[in-house]
Structure 1
Amino acid sequence: MKIQFTKLAIVLLGVVAFMSSCSKKQSSPKTGMRYNDPNNGGFQVFKKTHPAPGPGLVAIEGGTFVLGGSADQDVTYEYNNVRRRVTVGSFYMDETEVSNVDWLEYLHWDAINFPQDRELYYDALPDTLVWRRPLSYNEPFVYNYLRHPAYQDYPVVGVTWDQAQEYCIWRTDRMNENILRNGGQLASWKDAAGKGGNGTQAAPAGGTPFNTDIYLNGQIKGQGIDGKKMMPDLNPRATAGTAGGKPKRTVIMEDGILKQGYRLPSEAEWEYAALGLIGNTDYENITDGKMYPWNGMGVRSPKKKTRGLILANFKRGEGDNMGVGGYLNDKADITAPVRSYVPNDFGLYNMAGNVNEWTGDTYRQTSFEEVEDFNPFRGNEFKDKRLEDPTKGQLAKDKYGRPIYDPAKAGKKQKWSELVAQQNGTATQNNATNLPAGIATNPVGAAGTSPQANKSDLAGKPYNPDFRGYADTVSSVLYGTTTLANDHSKVYKGGSWNDRAYWLNPATRRFMNEDDASAEVGFRCAMSMVGATQIHPNSGPKFKVRKSR
């Protein structure tokens, strides 16, 4: 009895200590001023959390690995994956490839929000003609593969790199809009649909859909848009809404509610995630290398119950896409459902075979030797959101409610006077030439050189925001004549249902023009991870650090 009483006392003391620590208001360790106090300015600080991944994503803990290290041969003699040790930061990646039903959801959204914009819908359609072959009867795939329910969980194909990029933007906005509507910071889906219940997802004010950047800039708010659980505004200058009550505000980045944007993974991220070496790591020692996303040198399962089964969807040899009737080995003639075979040690499906996958990188043969060793990537096109009015901080929007991006004007933050002068100067200049603000009026220079300096360049020094072909000697004039490698050539990896086993190796790399498509190329999305890079910070030994107040 005495022991039980002692235990109860300890529990009660713990609860009291926890409640007292929670009730104690946080204050600045540098000024001593309390956070979240409307009487001293209302500076708000929220609990520091490790954000959860967006829908469909799994966490990939980063680290160092040898880029190109899993390749044991170079059958094409291109020398385009020279081994090099690099570090990849932690990030999130889609568990599966983007499927047909995922893409049909995208098309449906376009159709109900912009029913009169046939160009938007047409541009989003995959090219189903990629299935046609001169001497093959593939017409059923042309008409059925994208839309028939039998293929709804198969990877979408016929999608260009440009289309994949547009999908990532759309997916980001739908994810964040759903978070805000379900959380009450925006009007609920039911309230947004209105009494008519037409299902339109466009914002009531202005008729343009939700966009994350525009919302974070405070440009999506007002009657019919605001939710019932908006964030309290502790700014002493804030005023209550038309309905009275306490002042409310829209969500800001500091709240930690909205998530990072979806994007295509970089080539290094894709290769790192495909290898999944985390399953072979013990105290920072990689016990065994890999040639494929699974262990071993072969492509068949060594386990007793599945012994001999092919571990990925690929072409075993000439004329052998699926095995012998009565015992179809990989169970797929073309693509297979996105959840097929065994996932790798990160939990990712089909990182070898099924379809090749687009990455974000621009192709160069020597990229492995030239890119940075931390988060290596080739493809930077630095852009800034166009300001409609610098004094008001309003972003310019296109007809779809998304921010307009212009090439970056400088490599560092501009002075306020320079920003305002540039905005006014380019607006006057471009009104005369009917060009969008921020677009250089001078033509692109000779092949392989940077664009000529814009008149708005600071101090007369030209700044080129396009670093896709940084310091290389590729000439776009020769594109299609002696080389296919230019700034429009994008890397894809992973092998497909119609490729031999060689291409299943994560280190292999090929490229295709960004506006081309194939029945053998799909994609999956990634998302940057913010904050701590360690996925499970409470596991393993660590130093004791006093928590901040």
Structure 2
Amino acid sequence: MNGCCSAVSRNNGNEGSGEAAKISSRGKAGEVIAVKGGETFVGTNDPVIAVDGEGPERRVTVNDFFLEAETVTVARFAEFVEATGYVTEAEKFGCAAVFMGLLNDRELAANNVAGTPWWGRVDGAIWKAPEGPGSSIEDRMDHPVTQVSWNDAMAFAYWVGGRLPTEAEWEHAARGGNRRRRYPWGDEEPTDAKVFCNIWQGRFPHQNTLADGFFGTAPARSFTPTGDGFYNLAGNIWEWTSDPFRVRSLTRQAKIRNEQAKKSADKLLKGGSFLCHKSYCYRYRIAARMGLSPDSASSNTGFRIAYDVRPGERRAG
């Protein structure tokens, strides 16, 4: 596990290349943006973190699809749980990973994660008590739901009649089609003073200047959206995709990582999170990626929903 902007509202039926659509009546679906398919690419020929499998760039073809403008919120997930009685994997396990900086009482952490002492295993940390006993979601209903595993995300997607996006779809949407850009907003690099998304500012993990206004998660509709209307494709939370994690390389290191990923059935996540910083976790770039086992849950993992274009529906473009 890894490791002050305006909130903008859009009507995508009239702005950008997106086309508003309502796909599901369940889960209080928000804006769903139509994305034009075609030939696109995944990854980069200039990888920063090669061990993650960011390269090489490869050309792929995607079909037209719909993708929700924002990640699934706590409020939507709560409705899902109320309607179905669903029990998340963190609830079954009785614990989940919590960023230590979010804990008011660090003694709640049973132990630190090896190699990443800023992560702790907290008994009772679940989606409705993200930092364990005593924590609450009351003031975070419009934030992305966290402490949800890949399996939890898949269950929610099935309930709303959608699915998780593929890595290719996610990158295609983040780039605004086939435009070559490093970040969802373009190529300008975020700094500790100039922010575009919810990532760490300062010296990780000891000091966060809160230049972006947030220590943990931000509301799902924070910061300026992409030209097509997508919110927080970089930073805030890691987003589960439908793809397995795989490093496309012939190096010994890649072979070892792939063996590990296969053993734990790792799934691929995109987008980085509020804990990312260029000095430590430079993974808020579009090509960046991460793999976790499908039963993993943490303070900075969530998801957004994609939908196939069904016969009779208007396509993008």
Q: Do both proteins adopt the same fold according to a TM-score greater than 0.5, normalized to the shorter chain?
A: yes
What displacement does 1:132 show?
A: 6.2
- For the residues of structure 2 that align with 1:125 and 1:523, how far apart are their CA atoms? 18
- For the residues of structure 2 that align with 1:134 and 1:52, how far apart are their CA atoms? 39
Does 2:260 correspond to 1:483? yes
Q: Which has the higher contact order (CA 8 A, sep 6+)?
A: 2
Residue from 122, 132, 153 that aligns with 1:142: 132
Does 2:206 correspond to 1:296? no
- Number of residue pairs matched by the alignment: 262
- The structure in which a higher percent of residues are strand is 2
1:331–1:144 Cα change, 3 Å: farther
Asked whether the 8 Å contact 1:107–1:125 carries over to 2, the reply is no
Code of the residue aligned with 2:147 in structure 1: it is G
**Unaligned residue ranges in structure 1 (runs of 5+):** 1-49, 112-119, 173-261, 279-285, 302-307, 370-473, 537-549
**Equivalent pairs: percent with the same residue?**
29
1:124–1:59 Cα change, 3 Å: farther
* Superposed CA RMSD: 3.5
Residue from 40, 44, 50 that aligns with 1:65: 40
Query: Where do 1:77-476 residues align within 5 Å?
Result: 77-111=51-85, 120-121=86-87, 125=91, 129-131=96-98, 133=100, 137=104, 141-143=131-133, 147-172=136-161, 262-277=162-177, 286=179, 289-299=180-190, 309-319=194-204, 324=209, 328-366=210-248
What displacement does 1:316 show?
A: 3.1
Residues 496-530 of structure 1 deviation map (CA, whole Å, 9 limit, x = unaligned): 01122420111111101111112121111100113
Residue from 535, 539, 543 that aligns with 2:316: 535
Code of the residue aligned with 1:293 in structure 2: it is P
**Unaligned residue ranges in structure 2 (runs of 5+):** 1-18, 24-28, 109-128
1:125–1:345 Cα change, 3 Å: farther
- For the residues of structure 2 that align with 1:497 and 1:524, how far apart are their CA atoms? 16
- For the residues of structure 2 that align with 1:132 and 1:322, how far apart are their CA atoms? 14
1:128–1:483 Cα change, 3 Å: closer
Residue from 513, 527, 547 that aligns with 2:293: 513
What displacement does 1:64 show?
A: 2.2
Task: Provide the TM-score with structure 1 as the length reference.
Answer: 0.43
Asked whether the 8 Å contact 2:72–2:144 carries over to 1, the reply is yes
- For the residues of structure 1 that align with 2:42 and 2:268, how far apart are their CA atoms? 15
- For the residues of structure 2 that align with 1:316 and 1:505, how far apart are their CA atoms? 16
Code of the residue aligned with 1:131 in structure 2: it is V
- For the residues of structure 2 that align with 1:269 and 1:533, how far apart are their CA atoms? 18
1:322–1:53 Cα change, 3 Å: farther
Task: Provide the TM-score with structure 2 as the length reference.
Answer: 0.71
1:158–1:365 Cα change, 3 Å: same
- For the residues of structure 2 that align with 1:135 and 1:293, how far apart are their CA atoms? 27
- For the residues of structure 2 that align with 1:128 and 1:487, how far apart are their CA atoms? 19
What displacement does 1:276 show?
A: 1.6
Asked whether the 8 Å contact 1:363–1:487 carries over to 2, the reply is no
1:154–1:144 Cα change, 3 Å: farther
- For the residues of structure 2 that align with 1:529 and 1:322, how far apart are their CA atoms? 45
- For the residues of structure 1 that align with 2:34 and 2:305, how far apart are their CA atoms? 12
SS in 2 for 1:358: strand
Residues 397-422 of structure 1 deviation map (CA, whole Å, 9 limit, x = unaligned): xxxxxxxxxxxxxxxxxxxxxxxxxx
SS in 2 for 1:265: coil
SS in 2 for 1:312: coil
- For the residues of structure 2 that align with 1:153 and 1:322, how far apart are their CA atoms? 26
